[in-house]
Amino acid sequence: MIEVSASNASGSIYSRTEEMMNGEILKFDMGYNSKANMGLKMKAIVCTKYGPPEVLHLKEVEKPTPRDNEILIKIHATTVNYGDTLARNFKDISPRKFNMPFLFWLFAKIYFGIRKPKITILGNEFAGEIASAGKDVKSFKQGDRVFGYLGQNMGAYAEYLCMPEDGCVALKPANMTYEEAAVVPYGAIMALNLLRKMNIHPGQNVLVNGASGGIGSAAVQLARHFGAEVTGVCGTPRIELVKSLGADSVIDYTKEDFTQSGETYDLIFDILGKSSFSRCKSSLSQNGRYLLASFKMRQLFQMLWTSMIGSKRIICAIASGSKEDLISVKELIEAGKIKSIIDRRYPLENTAEAHQYVETGNKKGHVVIILEHNNKT
């Protein structure tokens, strides 16, 4: 996890920028080998221009072939999450609309494409099976059932994808279907990274603001796993969803402002920064922390200030996924600590419709895209 804290605020930003410039962010390589794949095609949802869901089209594209250190994965399920909708229409995302500091927006703009998308196949979560593997691959074999997270590289809106053996991919939890497993990686990895850093222990009170989204739903379950008493904040349509995730209490933000309830919390995890430290300060216990996964420069300065003055602190942090994180998530799933709740399922050819539904703001759980394969692919 990259934590932007008072002791390393500038270093973390600069190191992240250096990673972007050195190719972690600016390199997009799905393992395509044009000579090896001549004549081999697969179906994929392709986005060649920015815009509304209607810019997503089903097309035949070149099928990838794994390099020596890569695995070829036959995708059975993928998802529509916030990152997918953001990348699809990034041309309209101004620095003000972006949930992170300007520097992050600038490099994201360069990475995704200024005028038109550089990444034409979206989808950053998946579940599927190993179709083949490069000669140097040791930890996977053909037929293994896997799930994973592609991050900003994306590419899961396709029948097949290639990724390195040491990428963020692991054997699928035995107690989940492909559909259930596909929706877990992003939210669970982010929530696990951030909550581990907070050292939650039994008896603490934790509030999750934005408890029904990908990160929020995982945070509710993980905070409960760590022994905390959890309060979830969400809108009216998703109250039952958050209750089903194990929240001890649920606040409907359309009817009640949690900062005015008089309750105090050891940790307030504000997923999208919808509140503010000034509003939440009175709701924090002594030595309480206000955790942000999305933040601007103002919050970074506030973090620096609160590290020197007072006992209540604001923490701005980001997390990157790894194979080790995903394996930890798999173990928690198999132990019954994390579950996924699916709202709707769409076939690959209806991906645009799935994006439309997600953008209504009415989803109650995850939205899954299902891929059906035949013997010709």
pLDDT tens digits for 274-303? 899 999 999 999 999 999 999 999 989 999
Q: What is the pLDDT of residues 346-368, one digit of tens each?
A: 999 999 999 999 999 899 999 99
Distance CA 167, CA 149 (A): 8
Alpha carbon 262 to its chain centroid, in Å, reads: 32
Domains of the chain in sequence order? 22-184+340-370 (3.90.180.10), 186-318 (3.40.50.720)
| Burial zone of 32 (CB within 10 Å; 0-12 exposed, 13-18 middle, 19+ buried) | middle
Distance CA 377, CA 374 (A): 6
Q: What is the pLDDT of residues 147-158, one digit of tens each?
A: 999 999 999 999
Q: Which two tokens mark 329? A: 């998530």
pTM of the model: 0.87
Q: Comparing 165 with 26, which gets the higher pLDDT?
A: 165
Task: Write the DSSP assignment of 45-101 as a string of letters.
Answer: EEE-S-SSGGGEEEEEEEPP---TTEEEEEEEEEE--HHHHHHHTGGG--TTTSSS-
| pLDDT for position 2 | 42
Q: How far is CA 312 from CA 210, 288, 305, 355, in A?
A: 21, 5, 11, 39
